[in-house]
Amino acid sequence: MKIPRAIGALIDSFCKLPGIGPKTAQRLTYYLLHVPQIELDNFSDAVSKLKKDTTLCTNCRNVGESDPCLICSDMLRDISTVLVVEQPLDVLAFEKTGKYKGLYHVLHGAISPLENIGPDEIYTSDLIERVKKDKKIKEIIIATNPTMEGEATAMYLTKELKKIEKNKLVITRLGMGIPTGADLEYADEVTLFQALQGRRDV
Amino acid sequence: MKIPRAIGALIDSFCKLPGIGPKTAQRLTYYLLHVPQIELDNFSDAVSKLKKDTTLCTNCRNVGESDPCLICSDMLRDISTVLVVEQPLDVLAFEKTGKYKGLYHVLHGAISPLENIGPDEIYTSDLIERVKKDKKIKEIIIATNPTMEGEATAMYLTKELKKIEKNKLVITRLGMGIPTGADLEYADEVTLFQALQGRRDV
């Protein structure tokens, strides 16, 4: 195959991204050949500066421009509640609802024994220390994903957080059940069972 | 929404790529936050060098590292045949078969009146000039895509090529019909009709 080196290099880089196979990588690369150099330079800049121009907040471990991040330094937020999520993207998802006014804690992963990721590989101890030190925290909402790894992480965190001697620390989990707009007919058994268990008075 | 500027810039750049929507762009960007800086630098380099380190071959207009390109300067290839394609990726597709030994001509597009792309916006005149000048060319295989635009381009090229006063210049099109591995039951009418028209003695 006679692919020029510059093209091969970019195809390889695209291939390393999740969900992008060799065919898509080829298509993206050849598309970029028709794009003005100024746009390529912008793209190239954005890639190289991504990590240099961002930082992890020492308080909540979210990705931000400043430390502490904009959410942690926002005086209007409810500092008594901390929502624990796996990824920075989960923070965005909750922020989009516009309904959550508390703080966050980003674990940057979930416990997964199969991939050799234990509690020390993600920011669990940071959360424990933060709850121990910050006397104003009254509620921890654990919002890990409803997967095997997320459940394992939630169980571990619940166990460790309960060890902390603190008055009235409430630990909660997200409500489970039928998502809005879903069709009951196609809901799986586990979801239906959880919807039954989580039923509420009206 | 409190997205850091560096992250927003990369999401925007990914969004401009074909087939990548805002959700995928977000996912790719946040994935890159976990990647070592050296890999980001390689990616960034590959993007900015893509056009600087490649050039269009003045003979066939294919994208290559040198001019003339590796295919045009290959002494073992059959210089009497020229296969006309729309995009450099089409050259790759034919090269992968390993069966075609002639040269190529890349148009970099197809005639599309709806998008204001006429014969002069793509490399059609280069092909006509090339065929006029190069006395060794005996056959032109037109391999544009079987779309409206590709058909219009093929018709235009056939008309213009037939005007050239040259002994025994053969103009051919790719065979049309059932692709290997397809199911006759699901083939559309046009394809079946073309398969009937293109039937061969056995």
pLDDT in tens, B78-132: 999 999 999 999 999 999 999 999 999 999 999 999 989 999 999 999 999 999 9
What is the pLDDT averaged over residues A50-74?
92
**Residue B6 Cα, gap to closest chain A Cα (Å):** 5
User: What DSSP string describes B114-178?
Assistant: GGTB-TTTTTHHHHHHHHHH-TT--EEEE---SSHHHHHHHHHHHHHHHHS--TT-EEEE---SP
Question: Does residue A1 register a pLDDT over 60?
Answer: no
Say what percent of chain A tops pLDDT 90.
73
Cβ separation of A51 and B28 shorter than 8 Å?
no
Identity of the residue in A3, A4, A13 whose CB atom sits nearest the CB atom of B42: A13
d(CA B174, CA B146): 10
Query: Do the domains at A5-49 and A77-173 have one common CATH topology?
Result: no
CB contact under 8 Å between A64 and B10, yes or no, is no
Across the interface, which of A37, A87, A89 has its CB nearest the CB of B51?
A: A37
- Give the separation between CA A8 and CA B186, rounded to whole angstroms: 37
Nearest by CB to residue B95, choosing from A2, A5, A87, is: A2
Residue of A131, A46, A48, A97 lying closest to B12 (CA atoms): A46
What pLDDT does residue A168 have? 81
Over 70: is that where the pLDDT of B1 sits?
A: no
CA distance A64 to chain B (A): 6
**Residue A167 confidence (pLDDT) above 80:** no
Q: What is the mean pLDDT of residues B27-36?
A: 93
**How many CB pairs lie under 8 A apart between chains A and B?**
154
Chain-chain contact of A5 with B65 (C-beta, under 8 angstroms)? yes
Going by pLDDT thresholds of 50, 70 and 90, the confidence category of residue B27 is: very high
Provide the CATH number for the domain formed by A77-173 in this structure. Answer: 3.40.1360.10
pLDDT exceeds 90 at position A2: no
Nearest-neighbour CA in chain A from B148: distance (Å):
21
pLDDT averaged over every residue in chain B: 92
Mean pLDDT of A156-183: 88
The model carries a pTM of 0.80
The answer to whether the bond into B119 is cis (omega within 30° of 0) is: no
For the segment A81-124, what is each residue's pLDDT rounded down to a tens digit? Answer: 999 999 999 999 999 999 999 999 999 999 999 999 999 999 99
Angle between helices B88-97 and A22-32 (to 10 degrees): 140
CATH 1.10.10.10 fits B69-173, yes or no: no
Contacts of B34 in chain A (CB under 8 A): 108
Residue of B nearest to A67 (CA): B4
- Give chain B positions within 8 Å (CB) of A85: none
How far apart, in Å, are the Cα atoms of A5 and each of A28, A43, B84, B97, B190? 16, 19, 24, 21, 40
A127 SS3 class: helix
Read off the pLDDT band of B59 (50, 70, 90). very high
Which residue of chain B comes nearest to A95, CA vs CA?
Answer: B1
Q: pLDDT for A33-42, tens place per residue? A: 989 999 999 9
Q: Which residue of A has its CA nearest to B88?
A: A30
| Residues of A in Cβ contact (< 8 Å) with B96 | 1
β B55-56/B63-64 pair status: antiparallel
Helix (H, G, I), strand (E, B) or coil at B84: strand
- CATH 2.60.40.10 given to domain B5-49: no
Mean pLDDT of chain A: 92
Residue spans per domain, chain B: 5-49, 69-173
Our CA-based measurement puts residue B85 at a distance from the nearest CA of chain A, in whole angstroms, of: 14
Provide the Cα torsion B147, B153, B155, B157; round to 10°.
-150
Confidence band, pLDDT 50/70/90 cuts, at residue A181: confident
